[in-house]
Amino acid sequence: MGGSVKMVEETLKLAYGDDSEFIKDKRIAAVQALSGTGACRLFADFQKRFCPSSQIYIPVPTWSNHHNIWRDADVPQKTYHYYHPETKGLNFSGLMDDVKNAPEGSFFLLHACAHNPTGVDPTDEQWREISQLFKAKKHFAFFDMAYQGFASGDPARDAKSIRIFLEDGHHIGISQSYAKNMGLYGQRVGCLSVLCADEKQAVTVKSQLQQLARPMYSNPPLHGAQIVSTILGDPELKSLWLKEVKIMADRIIGMRTTLRESLEKLGSPLSWEHVTKQIGMFWYSGLTPEQVDRLTSEYHIYMTRNGRISMAGVTTGNVGYLANAIHEVTKSS
């Protein structure tokens, strides 16, 4: 029911660190999950079963499926401020106010890195402040880390938010996924982990996570987990994977730079600073639903109507065409 022990071991190292004292002390309850969605759902059901009167605080905006997951687990949802539409950056003061005003011991869903859909992440210093306030309020942080490696190109760097919370002595939960950073979307490979007070508690929590998994899907599939174990368990393959993750992330970062430069060269009077300031797979463009509709109908460029563009689809071959089309539909704004 808990899946591949080897895969889980290697996955925990990516999140908690190769030399993590928590791994050594066996304080982490962890099971293989059906990618990030499955890990989130398993945790939501765990939350409902053992903290039935609790609710979950979710950022505005967030990945739309987060709402579905906690709704279907019958956990009431509240929201907290995150994105600032005017600056196209982080609404840090709004976020901190909401964390402060939430009832003591609340559950918060946090995006570990490369926030979806905005591409806006707190700085390390801001994460430290968030962590300190969580500590004071006795809140529980649940990190969804779907894009480790996609933000900076360095998985260790992308886990910095988690490491900050660990340094501050929090008990946390983490959802990890290999859908993007190993291209295993169709294999549904992920991991749910919960950091516990001691080894005894970790054994108990893991046992309960398995009890939740049993009637839901019985046990997770083998194939994808074996791919992950093979790559991460072999130093040569792991270093090759880390190199390739960096190449891929750097390509996306490079496309951001080219797109911004192309828009500025076209003489657009608007600020496109947020193209390069945001990070990860998505660019939260700030385009209106009407402008998105024009891009689709007039230029055959497709994106979600909230203006979220997948930067992974931008290439040296189409970036000029994309910039020109964006320039045309934003001219009059």
Domain extents in the chain: 5-233, 248-331
- What are the pLDDT digits (tens) for 167-214? 999 999 999 999 999 999 999 999 999 999 999 999 999 999 999 999
Alpha carbons 295 and 290: distance in angstroms, whole number: 9
Backbone angles phi, psi at 198, to 5 degrees: -160, 180
CA 175 centroid distance within chain: 8
180 in active site: yes
Using DSSP's 3-state secondary structure scheme, residue 174 falls into strand
CA-based diameter of the chain, in Å? 63
Let me know: does 259 contact 322? Beta carbons within 8 Å.
yes
Q: Which of 127, 180, 206, 272 is catalytic?
A: 180
Which CATH number is 5-233's, of 1.10.3210.10, 3.40.50.150, 2.40.50.140, 3.40.640.10? 3.40.640.10
Q: Kindly name the residue from 121, 144, 158, 241 that is annotated as catalytic.
A: 144
Domain 248-331 has CATH 3.40.1160.10: no
What is the C-alpha separation between 68 and 125, in angstroms, rounded? 32
**φ, ψ at 107 (rounded to 5°):** -95, 130
Residue 83 backbone dihedrals phi, psi, to 5 degrees: -95, 140
Question: Where does the pLDDT of residue 333 fall: very low under 50, low under 70, confident under 90, or very high at 90 and above?
Answer: low
Using the predicted structure, report yes or no on whether residue 332 has a pLDDT greater than 80: no
Q: Note the pLDDT tens digit of each residue in 255-292.
A: 999 999 999 999 999 999 999 999 999 999 999 999 99
**Which percentage of the chain shows pLDDT scores above 90?**
98
Residue 301 region, left (φ>0) first, then alpha (ψ -120 to 50), else beta? beta
Among the listed residues 75, 59, 69, 77, the one whose alpha carbon sits nearest the alpha carbon of residue 117: 59
What is the average pLDDT score of the chain? 97
For residue 117, pLDDT beyond 90: yes
Q: How many CA atoms lie within 13 A of 247 on its CB side?
A: 7
**Whole-angstrom distance, CA of residue 140 vs CA of residue 57:** 10
Selected catalytic residue, list 45, 48, 63, 70 = 63
By the 8 A CB rule, do 180 and 146 touch? yes
The pLDDT tens digits for 24-75 are 999 999 999 999 999 999 999 999 999 999 999 999 999 999 999 999 999 9
Residue 98 designated active-site:
no
Contact between residue 323 and residue 134 where contact means Cβ atoms under 8 Å apart: no
Instruction: With CA atoms as reference, report the closest residue to 268 among 196, 333, 185, 201.
Output: 333
CB 155 within 8 A of CB 285: no
> What tens digit of pLDDT does each residue of 81-101 get?
999 999 999 999 999 999 999
Give the mean pLDDT of 220-224: 96
pLDDT surpasses 80 at 124: yes
Sign of CA dihedral 127, 130, 135, 136: positive
Task: Establish whether 63 is a catalytic residue.
Answer: yes
